[in-house]
Amino acid sequence: MRRTLAIPATGKVLLENCTVIDCTEPDRQLPGAAILLSGPVIERVGPWSEVLAGFDLRGVERRDLSGMFVIPGLWDSHIHLGAVVVPYEDEYAHETPAHHMIRCIRKAQDNLRCGITTLRSLGEEFDADLVLRDAIAAGEIEGPRIYAAADVMWSQRATGPDEFRRAVRGAVRSGVDTVKLLSSGGIPWRSDSIGRGLHSFEEISAAVGEAHGWGKPVAVHAMGDETVVAAAKAGADTIEHGFVVTEEGISAMAEAGTIFCPNLAVTDAWEPEQLAAQGYPGWFCRNAEEARERHHAMFREAVRQGVPIVAGVDDLPEGPAPVGIEMHHGTLGLVEELRLMSVHGLGNGGALLAATKNAAATVRASTRLGTLEAGKVADLVVLGADPLADLTALTTVREVWKEGKPIRLTPSLEPGWQGGGIR
Which residues, 6 or more positions from 149, have their beta carbon under 8 angstroms from its beta carbon?
120, 121, 122, 123, 124, 129, 171, 176, 177, 178, 179, 180, 219
Taking the CA of residue 374 as centre, how many other CA atoms within 13 Å lie in the half-sphere pointing to its CB? 9
Burial profile 325-341: b = 16 or more Cβ within 10 angstroms, e = fewer = bbbbeeebbbbbbbbbb
pTM, two decimals, is: 0.94
Whether the Cβ atoms of residue 220 and residue 201 lie closer than 8 Å to each other:
no
Whether the Cβ atoms of residue 372 and residue 71 lie closer than 8 Å to each other:
yes
Q: Which amino acid is at 410?
A: T
For helices 201-213 and 161-174, angle between their N-to-C axes, nearest 10 degrees: 30
**Cis omega (within 30 of 0) on the bond before 87?**
yes
At residue 190, the pLDDT reads 85
At residue 290, the pLDDT reads 95
Q: pLDDT tens track of the chain, all 423 residues?
A: 344 566 766 789 999 999 999 999 999 999 999 999 999 999 999 999 999 998 889 999 999 999 999 999 999 999 999 988 877 788 888 899 999 999 999 999 999 999 999 999 999 999 999 999 999 999 999 999 999 999 999 999 999 999 999 999 999 999 999 999 999 999 988 887 899 999 999 999 999 999 999 999 999 999 999 999 999 999 999 999 999 999 999 999 999 999 999 999 999 999 999 888 888 888 989 999 999 999 999 999 999 999 999 999 999 986 665 678 999 998 999 999 999 999 999 999 999 999 999 999 999 999 999 999 999 999 999 999 999 999 999 999 999 999 999 998 876 555 554 544 333
Of 176, 109, 118, 173, the C-alpha closest to 146 is: 118
Go through the domains of the chain in sequence order and give each one's CATH number: 12-73+371-406 (2.30.40.10), 74-362 (3.20.20.140)
At residue 291, the pLDDT reads 96
Whether the Cβ atoms of residue 81 and residue 121 lie closer than 8 Å to each other:
yes
Q: How far is CA 16 from the centre of its chain?
A: 28
At residue 423, the pLDDT reads 31
At residue 379, the pLDDT reads 98
3-class DSSP state of 125? helix
What is the maximal distance between C-alpha atoms in the chain? Answer: 69
